[in-house]
Amino acid sequence: MSTFPFTTNGAEQFFSALYQLSEDALQEEIMLVQQDFKAWIAQHFVLSEEQQVYLAGLSQNFAQSAGALTASAMSYRLPVILIKPEGNSGQLRKGKLVDTKNNIVIQHAEDQDEASGEVIFTISY
């Protein structure tokens, strides 16, 4: 897969391309995002030097949680949304906040899973 801009539109394009993969290829990506969220982001998105530094500084707890949330959405090909202001690309300030929300609901009945919802990563300054 090619790399995509680390923007709202870039993330949308990335997940659209990702969900075109075969089930086996998608399962490989799910495994990778669970194992190392930071490396997975760096592999698939074009990041400025400042963004690379910020990504490297994310706590292990946050990275593991973000990887698990992303993997859950990917398992059912549900939306993973990045909301990021375009004007602050590459500009990092002390007040930067990365917020995660999800409303994924998974139901299992009669040997079949049904899932709905999305994961949203919001970056604010």
**Tens digit of pLDDT for each residue in 40-98?**
999 999 999 999 999 999 999 999 999 999 999 999 999 999 999 876 555 555 567 88
- 40 vs 14, 24, 48, 70, 106, CA distance in Å? 12, 17, 15, 11, 25
Domain that holds residue 97: 4-124
Query: pLDDT digit string (tens) for 82-100?
Result: 999 876 555 555 567 889 9
pTM: 0.89
Q: Do 54 and 91 contact (CB within 8 A), yes or no?
A: no
| Largest Cα span, the chain | 50
Structure tokens at 28: 């490989």
Question: What number is the average pLDDT over the span 21-39?
Answer: 98
b/e 14-27 (16+ beta carbons within 10 angstroms → b): bbeebeeeeeeebe
Look at residue 116 in the predicted model and tell me its pLDDT.
Answer: 96
Tally of structural domains, the chain: 1
